[in-house]
Amino acid sequence: DQQVKQNSPSLSVQEGRISILNCDYTNSMFDYFLWYKKYPAEGPTFLISISSIKDKNEDGRFTVFLNKSAKHLSLHIVPSQPGDSAVYFCAASETSGTYKYIFGTGTRLKVLA
Amino acid sequence: GAGVSQSPSNKVTEKGKDVELRCDPISGHTALYWYRQSLGQGLEFLIYFQGNSAPDKSGLPSDRFSAERTGGSVSTLTIQRTQQEDSAVYLCASSLVAGGPPDTQYFGPGTRLTVL
């Protein structure tokens, strides 16, 4: 039972355009969400997070949107750069003392120069 | 400063052999996690250590898997009698403290295990 789903395994975007990566979850107890970026042969690195008390969090070119009623979050990258090409994982957690992140299967983003 | 390190970076073994994977967390981080990523899958939680508390082993897929953390720092994940389905990238992460609001987990580069 996949509690966190990234239904698009890959995405190609032209440099300078917007990249939108999507993530859906099923567990209504999740109230903290994160995005990680992973380059080949490296571990995932933290990118941005959002608590369920917000519906948007922005950090430079990266913005995460959360729609709690739809159990959906998305990561927007504007403008996309070739260095953004990587696999992006969304993860979800409960803040009620639990430490486990439940990860999605990842979306491979390719930004074309 | 130094990040999370893991060794070896690659391990090829024969079915039935035992393997040990090592993780050195970031100094001062009290929480340590092991995950694995099988081909086409997300990161799967395996085990979690927090300070001197009993580890949460709920994610270990079978009793062939075990892990220990010595002195609250280095951790070793052991897989006994390896099977081909154990082939995956094994990732270790550490965080400053766990419990309460989730704090950022910092990942190592992983160990790619191939069981022939």
pLDDT of B52: 81
* Residues in a beta bridge with A51: A32
Q: Nearest residue on chain A to B101, judged by CA atoms?
A: A95
pLDDT of A77: 98
Which two three-digit tokens encode residue B69?
């953390």
**How does pLDDT run across A65-80, given as a tens digit for each residue?**
999 999 999 999 999 9
Which two three-digit tokens encode residue B93?
């992460």
Does B102 sit within 8 Å of A101, measured CB to CB?
Answer: yes
β-pairing, A62-67 with B5-7? Answer: unpaired
Look at the alpha carbons of B22, B23, B28, B29 in this order and tell me if their dihedral is positive or negative. Answer: negative
Residues of B in contact with A93 (CB under 8 A): 102
Residues of B in contact with A49 (CB under 8 A): 102, 104
Which two three-digit tokens encode residue B83?
């099977």
B39 or A58, greater pLDDT? A58
**How does pLDDT run across B43-95, given as a tens digit for each residue?**
899 999 988 888 889 899 999 999 999 887 899 999 999 999 999 999 999 98
Measured CA to CA in angstroms, residue B96 lies from A30, B73, B105 at distances of 21, 12, 8
Residue B14 to residue B38: CA distance in whole angstroms? 18
pLDDT of A98: 59
pLDDT of B101: 54
In angstroms, what separates the C-alpha of B5 from chain A's closest C-alpha?
10
In angstroms, what separates the C-alpha of A108 from chain B's closest C-alpha?
11
3-state DSSP call for residue A32? strand
